[in-house]
């Protein structure tokens, strides 16, 4: 069965929910106005989604976004950590991205694949046990930042 890709103009949005006194109440993530679903067959790296920081919640959101946009679980598992690093970790209290932007990032990711064997004490391993064997050439591997890192995909 071929994975079902979303239309490039599909809109994903996220916002933090605040209470009447400005207290944090959670997050809301939607796809064209409907809640973003997270399939049970994918690994959970966090009990919920988040963004704007380096952590499991941001990785969980990156995985869910790629899977929803592409319909391809293997692609999502292979690339979510790098989409997270280059985009999700950078987002503010609210954000918007289209499926087309996610596809552009994935195309760039595929062009820039490199073998990346982490040190045994890599503290960025996630609970899903996803291997760190491939990834794009991010700033840590070269002095110039990619278009994605310069904010071209926010």
Q: What is the pTM of this model?
A: 0.72
Q: Is residue 81 part of a domain?
A: yes
C-alpha angle 95-63-142 in degrees, rounded to nearest 5: 80
Other CB atoms within 10 A of residue 65 CB: 26
Tell me the pLDDT band of 4, cut-offs 50, 70 and 90: confident
Report whether 138 contacts 86 (CB < 8 A).
yes
For residue 3, being part of any structural domain is answered with no
Helix axes 99-111, 56-70, angle to 10 degrees: 100
Give domain status of residue 41, yes or no: yes
HSE, side-chain direction, 13 A CA sphere, residue 87: 27
Which position has the token pair 């596809």? 103
Number of domains, the chain? 1
Confidence of residue 1 (pLDDT cuts 50, 70, 90): low
More confident residue, 122 or 76: 76
Whether residue 72 lies inside any domain: the answer is yes
Distance CA 143, CA 154 (A): 21
Taking all residues of the chain, what is their mean pLDDT, rounded to a whole number? 78
124 found inside a domain: yes
Judge whether residue 16 has pLDDT over 80: yes
The token pair at 28 is 């809301």
Q: How confident is the model at residue 134 (pLDDT cuts 50, 70, 90)?
A: very low
CA–CA separation, 48 and 65 (whole Å):
13
Q: Domain for residue 112, yes or no?
A: yes
For residue 90, is pLDDT > 60?
A: yes
Average pLDDT over residues 129-154: 42
Of 76 and 138, the one with more pLDDT: 76
**Over the stretch 40-67, which tens digit does the pLDDT of each residue have?**
767 787 888 999 999 999 999 999 999 9
Whether residue 6 lies inside any domain: the answer is no
Q: What share of the chain is helix, strand, coil (3-state, %, to 5)?
A: 30, 20, 50
* Residue 27, domain extent: 11-152
Q: What is the mean pLDDT of the segment spanning 132-145? A: 39
Is 119 inside any structural domain? yes
Q: Tokens 């959101």 belong to which residue?
A: 61
* pLDDT greater than 70 at residue 109: yes
Number of residues written out for the chain: 154
Least confident segment among 12-16, 18-22, 99-103, 147-151: 147-151
């Amino acid at each position: 069965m071929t994975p079902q890709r979303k239309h490039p103009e599909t809109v994903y949005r996220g916002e933090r929910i605040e209470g009447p006194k400005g207290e944090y109440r959670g997050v809301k993530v939607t796809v064209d106005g409907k809640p973003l679903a997270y399939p049970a067959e994918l690994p959970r790296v966090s009990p919920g989604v988040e963004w704007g920081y380096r952590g499991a919640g941001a990785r969980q959101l990156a995985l869910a976004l790629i899977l929803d946009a592409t319909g391809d679980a293997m692609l999502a598992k292979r690339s979510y950590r790098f989409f997270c690093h280059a985009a999700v970790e950078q987002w503010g209290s609210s954000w918007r991205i289209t499926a087309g932007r996610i596809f552009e990032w994935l195309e760039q990711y595929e062009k820039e694949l490199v073998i990346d064997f982490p040190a045994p004490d890599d503290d960025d391993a996630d609970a899903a046990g996803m291997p760190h064997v491939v990834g794009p050439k991010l700033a840590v591997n070269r002095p110039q930042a990619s278009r994605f890192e310069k904010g071209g995909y926010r």
